Amino acid sequence: MSYPFNIENIRAFSIKQPWSSLIIKNIKNIENRTWGSDNEKWFILHSSKEYDKNTLKTKPNIIKKLKTIKWKNFPTGVILGIVHVTNVESNCDVDKYFWATGPKCWHIDFVYEFDKPIKATGALSFWKPDSNVMSKVIKELSDKSFLQSLYMYQFCKTLNTIYLNKQDKKWYDKSKPWGFNIVRIKVPTLLDGFKMLQRFENNNCVNKDNVTKESFQCNSEAIKMVEYNYGSLILTVVFNSGKSYEYFDVPRKVYDDLKRSESKGKFINTIIKKFKCRALTQAV
């Protein structure tokens, strides 16, 4: 497979906690800097040894968001994963974007968290990890899970905005007169192609920044329906008993894993219930 970056020479970039973990967990989609070119960039995300002491001096909505985060594991001095910045916006509108404080906003459209953090010493600006660290990074970037995520990202980027027709379960592109968008993508084997298309069907390549909510019915003894808000990261679970709960700061990856799980009830009991929640007075 050809990577969209030079796997041997990809650089790392250090960001303080809690921001680095929020980025790699696909919660924070903007990195704020005073510098940066407009060119897109791939980089390895490194968590600095220092925790940002100014977290409570940022925008009120961000402070409120930070207080709702239940998990407190913010590893430092380690490489967390890989990030893609699609563009850098100068003098960005801090009122338009939730995570924006400016003056330059690095817009992030892809993250992948490594299976295990890799211990490394950071540096200022973009830096090259030593050979020992790079061998571990390359191993993670050669992993089947990352390659599938990369396939999916490249495939969706190839398409124009896709809308899901929930009635006949087909994809169509409103910008095309014939309604469908035909694309080609190289895959190493036919099996990989089938797996990629299956993931495409599950994800639908919908621009989730423009889609507020998504829901699905459950064929379960305990669970009736699940709804996910891509903007607020709130997962709502409606039980057959009539009770409903909202779970906060649930990453998109966790929601995707829930959709793919064979037992929705078991996944909710073992994974989802670890997140902070509140009971709703009535069903969704």
For 9-28, how does the pLDDT look when each residue is reduced to its tens digit (9 = 90+)? Answer: 999 999 999 999 999 988 89
CA distance 240 to 224: 5
CA distance 78 to 134: 13
- In the chain, what percentage of residues exceed pLDDT 90? 43
For residue 10, give Cα distances in angstroms to 20, 54, 102, 107, 275: 18, 30, 26, 19, 34
Please give the structure tokens belonging to residue 136: 């571990």
**Rounded to two decimals, what is the model's pTM?**
0.61
CATH 2.60.40.1180 fits 12-132, yes or no: no
Residues 6+ away with beta carbon under 8 Å from 165: 171, 172
Find out whether 32 and 15 touch, Cβ atoms under 8 Å: no
Listed in order, strand segments (DSSP E) in the chain are 12-17, 30-33, 41-51, 78-90, 104-119, 126-127, 163-165, 170-172, 213-217, 223-229, 234-239, 244-247, 277-280
For 112-163, how does the pLDDT look when each residue is reduced to its tens digit (9 = 90+)? Answer: 999 999 999 999 999 999 999 999 999 999 998 898 788 777 766 654 333 3
Domain ranges, ordered by start, for the chain: 12-132, 155-203, 213-280
pLDDT at 34: 93
Exposed, middle or buried by CB within 10 Å (0-12, 13-18, 19+), for 184?
A: exposed
For 199-226, b where at least 16 C-beta lie within 10 A, e where not — what string? Answer: bbeebbbbeeeeeeebeeebebeebbbb
Answer yes or no: is pLDDT of 109 > 60.
yes
